[in-house]
Every structure is written in C-alpha cells, then in structure tokens.
Amino acid sequence: MPRSGPTTLTLPPFEGTVRQLIIINVGVYFAIAVLGLVLPEFAQVLIDHLSLQPASLVSWPWQPWQIATYSFINLGILNFLISMFMVWMFGSILEGTYGSRYLREVYVTSFIGGAALAAAGSFTHVLGLRPDSVAAGAGSAIFGVMVALAMRMGDLEIFLWFLVRVRIKYLIAIYILIDLAVLLRYANAFGALLHLCAGFCAFLYVRYAPTRGLGFGFSERFYGMRNAYYRAKRRRAARKFEVYMGKQGRKVQFDKEGRYVDPDEHKDPNDKRWMN
C-alpha cells in the first residue's frame, strides 16, 4: 500500500474522466434548472421519473432507467457544489494512479450496483426502509470512489476542506460510521443504505476486478476465446490433412497446436543417405 508523500494544497488536474463526469453533472443540473424556470411542472415530473424510487422499479409502469439516472439528478446548489468538488478531489487521485477506465468503472459500478442492492433492501421494511423512498445525487458514486481510494491508498493523507489533515482510510471509516448511525436512527435510512451499498460494490470491484479494469479483462477473455477457437480449427484442419495425405501414400506430421513439422528438421546432418 503506498505511503503518503508531502502534503500540499495544490489542486489536482481537471482532465480526463473527472472532467467528463463533472461536465455531465453540470449540464444536467443547469438543464433542469432552466427547465424549472420555463416549465416548472414538467421539470418536477422529470425529476420524479429520473430519481431513484424502488417501488417504480417493479410496479407498472416500470422505470428501470432510474438505477442509472438518479446519480445525475443533483438537487440544491450547496449539495451540488460539494459533490462536484469531491468528484474532482478524490476522482483525480484515483484516475491519476490507475487510469481513466478504472475510475469510470468504479464510479459506474458504485452507483448502479448500490442502487440495485439498496432498492432490494428497501422491500424488507427493516430499519424503517420503505420502497417508496426517493434518492438522488452523486453521493453514492463518490462514496464508492472513496472506498476504492481507501483500499488502494489507505495511508494517503489529505486536507479535508483544507483544514484537517487526515488519512483517507480513517476518513472513509468515519463516513461509514455516520451512515450506519443514520441508518440505525431511521433518519434518511434509504440514503444511508444507498451509500453503504455503493461502498460495498466498490469494495467488491477493487477486490475482484482486474487492476486494468473490467473492460480490459473482458477484452482479454474475448480474444483468448477467439484465439482458442482458431487454434482448434487449425488442429482439426491438420488432422484432416494428415488423413488425406495418408490416403495418397505420404506421411505428414503436425504438432499438438496444428503446426506443420518439417521432417528435415529431425534428420542427422551427418547422415549422407538422405541426400541426393
């Protein structure tokens, strides 16, 4: 696990996946804000259909897209600014170390997987959970990114809000305890469960996904299967050719991978009997 280096107040670079995520969130936020000024009733209906409500996932009319869209519905300017600032701070660290694909997959896995688990948990009605609860915002995705950072670079020290110097693993532990306390006190239980489920999905991703990302792992698996298929075809063609040449009174050999074996390679160069 990497150790922390000198701590500075320098802002991280604003580029790559971090910039794309912030631009998307900013675009959606202002689009809804402008729509709220022009058509406030329609804007509210749109927010209701894009926010996460577990009951809407299973009752007619089904709205399964809410699992993916709720993370981009940020309500409240202060909450929105804090969320984007955290995406910038924590996302840049993860992206700078493991690459854009890794950050993108952690981010998406966290808020989609967390939404699916939390929505399923809401139907149990334990701890005050209700399927008609509503959640929105990038908090679950940010929580997942923080869990990934705590697992990969737990001893990294940051200045929390430029005031308190703390290691990232202790910071995420504090956030987990806060969400557990909120969940047990029934205050916004669904939101707390959503954060915890997103963190759990990020934990599973970091623990079991390839370091270079799921996309790279799937592509490697795909090309491995494709190459195995081509090798099998080559071996089958080699066996058929051996049978055909045998019928012609000639003997040819192929190795176990279906590659032709030149008989001259096995002849003794000092044996003059095979020469013309």
Q: At 245, which helix (H) or strand (E)? A: helix 214-247
Q: What is the pLDDT of residue 4?
A: 45
What is the per-residue pLDDT for 265? Answer: 61
Q: Are residues 178 and 248 in the same domain?
A: no
Instruction: Please check whether residue 274 lies inside any domain of the structure.
Output: no
8 in any annotated domain: no
Alpha carbon of residue 120 to chain centroid = 20
Q: Are 274 and 267 in contact (CB under 8 A)?
A: yes
Least confident of 45-49, 157-161, 186-190, 268-272: 268-272
Q: Are residues 44 and 93 in the same domain?
A: yes
pLDDT score recorded for residue 99: 87
In terms of Cα–Cα distance, which of 81, 101, 91, 67 is closest to 146? 91
Indicate whether this model's pTM tops 0.85: no
CA angle 47, 25, 15 (to 5 degrees): 170
Instruction: Assess if residue 161 is contained within a domain.
Output: yes
- Spatial distance between the Cα atoms of 104 and 7, rounded to a whole number of angstroms: 26
- Identify the CA nearest to 193 among candidates 54, 25, 68: 54
Instruction: Give the range of the structural domain holding residue 245, as residue numbers without chain letter.
Output: 218-268
269 pLDDT more than 60: no
Same domain, 178 and 264: no
What mean pLDDT, rounded, does the chain reach? 83
For the cut 50, the answer to whether the pLDDT of residue 6 exceeds it is no
Give the total number of structural domains in the chain.
2
- The answer to whether 137 and 71 are in contact (CB under 8 A) is yes
Residue 2 has pLDDT above 60, yes or no: no
CATH of the domain at 165: 1.20.1540.10
Question: Which of 45-59, 114-128, 176-190 is predicted least confidently?
Answer: 176-190
Distances (CA, A) of 262 to 103, 142, 256, 266: 51, 61, 14, 8
Query: Considering the domain boundaries, does residue 159 fall inside one?
Result: yes
167 and 254 co-located in one domain: no
